[in-house]
């Protein structure tokens, strides 16, 4: 089994926010980590995030957060996690949130420090790539409306494919790429209905993003040796929402 390299946002970040920076320490505070491991662990979750679940599926430990990387290649590690909560493929909420281009730059810096050790390991490694909508949230915050959103979606998708192609050129061959969740079901967009109903307009745009992404990923899939798998967050979320009543919750689609 090769290494696991992770790029993305809070859906995958396992501890890259600086706990000593008041502006970034949110995932190190309660109630995060309440379910697991019982205390805040740098994850924007009360338990595990996508990285943890994928690592468990691969039967490896969760990759080391980039913030904890020391450059020591003599210790056992299952990979490196560059994902940073709040980031996107473009700049989002400030320079302290490294976009995915910067995250790949961080990987490149590590690789060039010891080309011999890394050579041959990358092709057998895997990439988890998670872009869950911070670019769109940043646009909405900036413009105060959603009129530009449909025209911005192709730019985001194109940049995702550009980033993945760059990782291919570095030497990666195995990619697990997450689609966008039904954004219209997120708390920020269901608050107006007392968290009881999804905003279908934003769900339609999420679907548009996903259809375009799957189509554009064919270019990467067609490159020699490339293996691309889709992590379908949209339908996974919909499944959870449709069965919420069984667990004491309710949110209509």
pTM over the 0.75 mark: yes
For residue 246, the model assigns a pLDDT of 73
Sequence-distant contacts of 193-196: CB under 8 A, at least 24 apart:
195/251, 196/250, 196/251, 196/252
Q: Which residues, given as ranges, of the chain have pLDDT below 50?
A: none
For residue 178, the model assigns a pLDDT of 98
State how far the Cα of 94 lies from the Cα of 141, in Å rounded to an integer.
13
For residue 248, the model assigns a pLDDT of 67
Whether omega before 128 lies within 30 degrees of 0, making that bond cis, reads no
For residue 119, the model assigns a pLDDT of 86
195: Cβ contacts below 8 Å, ≥ 6 apart = 187, 251
pLDDT tens digits, 67-123: 999 999 989 999 999 999 999 999 999 999 999 999 999 999 999 999 899 988 999
């Amino acid at each position: 089994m090769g290494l696991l390299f992770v790029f993305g946002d809070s859906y995958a970040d396992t501890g890259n926010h600086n706990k000593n920076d008041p502006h970034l320490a949110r995932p190190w505070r309660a109630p995060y980590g309440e379910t697991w491991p019982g205390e805040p662990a740098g994850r924007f979750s009360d338990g595990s995030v996508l990285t943890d679940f994928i690592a468990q599926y691969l039967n490896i430990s969760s990759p080391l957060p980039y913030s904890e990387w020391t450059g020591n290649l003599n210790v056992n590690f299952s990979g490196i996690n560059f994902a940073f909560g709040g980031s996107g493929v473009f700049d989002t909420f400030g320079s302290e949130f490294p976009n995915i281009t910067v995250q790949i730059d961080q990987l490149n810096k590590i690789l060039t420090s010891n080309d011999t050790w890394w050579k041959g390991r990358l092709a057998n490694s895997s990439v988890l790539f998670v872009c869950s909508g911070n670019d769109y949230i940043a646009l909405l915050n900036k413009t105060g409306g959603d009129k530009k959103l449909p025209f911005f979606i192709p730019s985001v998708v194109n940049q995702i494919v550009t980033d993945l192609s760059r990782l291919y050129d570095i030497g990666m061959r195995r990619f697990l790429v997450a689609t966008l969740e039904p954004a219209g079901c997120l708390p920020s967009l269901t608050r107006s209905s007392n968290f009881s109903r999804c905003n279908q307009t934003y769900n339609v745009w999420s679907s548009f993003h996903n259809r375009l992404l799957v189509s554009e990923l064919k270019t990467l899939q067609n490159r020699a040796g490339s293996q691309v798998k889709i992590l379908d967050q949209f339908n996974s979320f919909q499944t959870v929402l449709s069965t919420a009543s069984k667990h004491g919750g309710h949110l209509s689609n």
